Structure 1
Amino acid sequence: MAESLIVAAEAESLVKVLETFPLKEVGSDRWVRQHVNIQKLTIQSYVNTKQDKQGDFVQELLVSYRKIPVLVHEMILVEVWKQNVFPIICQLKAINSSNLYLLYVMKSCEAADDSVVDLLDYCHRKITALVGRAASNEAVTRDDEHISPTKLDRMGRKKCPSSQSNLWEELLEVSSVINRMLCTSNLPCLLVQLIERHPWSRRVDGELQNYIKMKWQKTPAEDQLKVALLECHVWIALFNLLLIKDCKRKYDFNRNQLLKLQSFMTDVLMDQLPPLIHLRQFLASLALADPAPPKHQLVLEQV
């Protein structure tokens, strides 16, 4: 049983002082201290989950002190910093990558308030970039000694499916973003492209490799029929998006795109992810008849 990294009282003191920073403050002493504190909170939340406690006091504190929007702001701040500042720094000197990654626990999207739309758009940008990279057949054949802007962004996108399958499930509980996911962003079709491109696996010299724990690893022959963890997350996200009650009412189904999933829904996949049987049945019915057109309603969205 893992021991606690921090106790509830210490976690509360760390959560209370979480604050947003302007872009110019990224890398400052104050920002680094908060970065370290967020890492501690993340690890403790993970420990709480693994210990199957009745409640995760870290997540409860983040919600009660209304700090979820702070974490969303920090995540987008780091994205902007990576795109606009990090390339310039890389031209000046090599940087150790060990302190460049933040982990966020987003268990209650409702606590994110208006920033939930920013969170959704952030996820959409990352998946779109990952699909685009896979479509262009860009691949990593070696590990660079020093991290580059391209590699930094690539690693962030590779992590995206694993963090987002649960995130979609949480977002679907927030009615204000369902229309944005289904209609504005058209996430179901985007995830279909992700299944088609399967950027979490590759073959190098005839050898199958999967992207696991932030690196490419050889897949043993006995495990090659197992569904990759990242692929599981994408399937779960599709299941949640297409089978929710509001989907048929709001979503303008692209049959040709969605029916591409049928060729991937093998018996091997069904054995490993039994809930997908319902998704396969839904696609079979979609193939036989056109769905009813969506009901167009006035929708107010944050922009």
Structure 2
Amino acid sequence: MSSTVDHIMPMSCEELLYQFSKMDSVLMPTEIDLYIETMKPQRMKNIGNEQWLEWHQRVQKLNQQALVEASALKEEYVKESLVTYKRINILVHESILINIWKYKVLPLILKMEPRPESTFVAYSVLYHEAVCVALLELVMFHEYCCESLGDQSADLLDYLSGASARLLSVTYEPGELNENATEELYRQRNNLCFEIGIKALTIIRYLADSINRLPISILSKMYTTYDIPVLFTEILLKNPWNVDGKQYTGGKWKNADGSQVCQPEAQVWLTLRTLLLDPECQNYYNITDSRKSQLLKILPFMSHLLLDQMSPLIELKHWLCRLSVMENSGNSGKPFIIETSLEIKQGILKETGEKWKKIAETQRPVIFTKDKQALKDAANKLSEAYNTDLLEKLDISDKNTTCARCGKDSIQKCSRCKTSWYCSRVCQVEHWNQHKEYCKPVC
């Protein structure tokens, strides 16, 4: 059975665009200025508390407003304010912070609380990273936004390379009726990792297009530290956006025959073209035999169908053909570069002291709160930002609903038939053998 998380899952970007296309705005200019001017990097210990949920709500509204402005071709006030107040780096900070939390802290909390009654707050934390990355994707399209990051673009590139690399191991999985809360939360984490990885491909392309406006060390990191050309080649070969006749595009899986190049694949091809055809490539990128072998694996995929849809790739195909007959097209050395440190990531690790177990113990009662009133308050706080009817689905009203299995006060209902209520995940799963006889016909 589906838990609270599935009841409150926010809309995809595509659905938000459809809803907001009829709206003039989500926020007034004065609200945008207030939200952005008062943005501050959050601390690991505060994740999930009341103040943090307020912060999450604001970021979500800013993302929605940016979507409205981008889709309606309006003045991009959110973007301009983020640059004016120098707050883009905070979005990078938040993405890195939650990324660390979901791999270092969340697994420990789940060990302490393997059968949580509600995963609402935990999912909100995971979703926060996706919101920050979505907003970064919107604003980083503009070169001067990339430039405004300065040396902290090194932190962004480090984060994005890791996020995109996860596309090689993470697959998008639909929910199952018999999964427990821990399995569900890990599935939701992996699904969000997939969505974030797809967006990371686009942002890396923006960084590659703006490479001449970024610190010189970023160019070196793209070619050597993270080897983006080989990484993107491996992602192309993995083809994660095409699964079982469906293609991931516009934030959704759609039926496809494979003839059309989807947006994620196009971003990968264009990034490879930018990096490999850049005049600086021969100075920074030593094309060894192993790199050459990997890069040439994509040559058979450059069909007439692909080139008809993306004519700029003709130059890339010519480059690869020349590479195939060259013994060594790279430079054995590389320019001396003063490497920039990962200021944001190192700052977070220093602040936490990497005491993950202690942090998990402190956050356990916040992330998996058993306080029904606290859940209601959190749902009230986020219902408008998530643009979904949380109050009804979490039973925020004062009407009395009892668990279909044990008779206790309930906090969630079956997401299929929406008629049976349960007090906890345990009761919901244990009652399924009886409930399914009623639930399936109703659905």
User: What TM-score results when the alignment is normalised by the length of structure 1?
Assistant: 0.87
> Which segment is superposed worse, 287-296 or 60-69?
287-296
Q: CA deviation at 1:98?
A: 5.9
* Equivalent position SS for 2:268: helix
* Number of residue equivalences: 290
1:95 maps to 119
* Equivalent position SS for 1:100: helix
Aligned 8 A contact 2:273 2:316 in 1: yes
1:276 to 2:297 alignment? no
Q: CA deviation at 1:215?
A: 5.2
Unaligned 5+ segments in structure 2 are: 1-20, 342-443
Q: CA deviation at 1:130?
A: 2.0
Q: Distance in 2 between matches of 1:165 and 1:215?
A: 16
**1:160-179 map, 5 Å:** 160-171=197-208, 172=211, 173-174=213-214, 175-179=216-220
Q: Distance in 2 between matches of 1:150 and 1:244?
A: 39
1:115 maps to 152
1:130 to 2:167 alignment? yes
Aligned 8 A contact 1:86 1:149 in 2: no
Q: Which amino acid aligns with 2:277?
A: L
1:187 to 2:228 alignment? yes
Q: 2:71 aligns with which of 10, 29, 50?
A: 50
RMSD, aligned α-carbons: 2.3
Q: Distance in 2 between matches of 1:151 and 1:40?
A: 22
Cα 1:141/1:19, change in 2 over 3 Å: closer
Cα 1:141/1:68, change in 2 over 3 Å: closer
Q: Distance in 1 between matches of 2:340 and 2:115?
A: 39
User: What TM-score results when the alignment is normalised by the length of structure 2?
Assistant: 0.61
Q: Which amino acid aligns with 1:230?
A: P
Unaligned 5+ segments in structure 1 are: none
Q: CA deviation at 1:163?
A: 3.8
Cα 1:287/1:60, change in 2 over 3 Å: same
1:157 maps to 194
- After superposition, the C-alpha distances for 1:242-281 in whole angstroms (9 at most, x for unaligned) are 2222212211122111111101111111111121111111
Q: Which amino acid aligns with 1:114?
A: D
Aligned 8 A contact 1:195 1:234 in 2: yes
Q: 1:293 aligns with which of 331, 339, 363?
A: 331
**1:237-248 map, 5 Å:** 237-248=271-282
Q: Distance in 2 between matches of 1:63 and 1:6?
A: 18
Q: Distance in 1 between matches of 2:114 and 2:254?
A: 30
Cα 1:292/1:117, change in 2 over 3 Å: closer
% same residue: 27
* Equivalent position SS for 1:42: helix
Aligned 8 A contact 1:166 1:237 in 2: no
Aligned 8 A contact 1:201 1:210 in 2: yes
* Equivalent position SS for 1:159: helix
Q: Which amino acid aligns with 2:338?
A: L
Q: Distance in 1 between matches of 2:101 and 2:251?
A: 21
Cα 1:66/1:232, change in 2 over 3 Å: same
Q: 1:33 aligns with which of 54, 61, 72?
A: 54
Q: Distance in 2 between matches of 1:104 and 1:85?
A: 25
Q: Which amino acid aligns with 1:22?
A: R
Q: Distance in 2 between matches of 1:186 and 1:267?
A: 28
Q: Distance in 2 between matches of 1:163 and 1:141?
A: 19
1:14 to 2:38 alignment? no
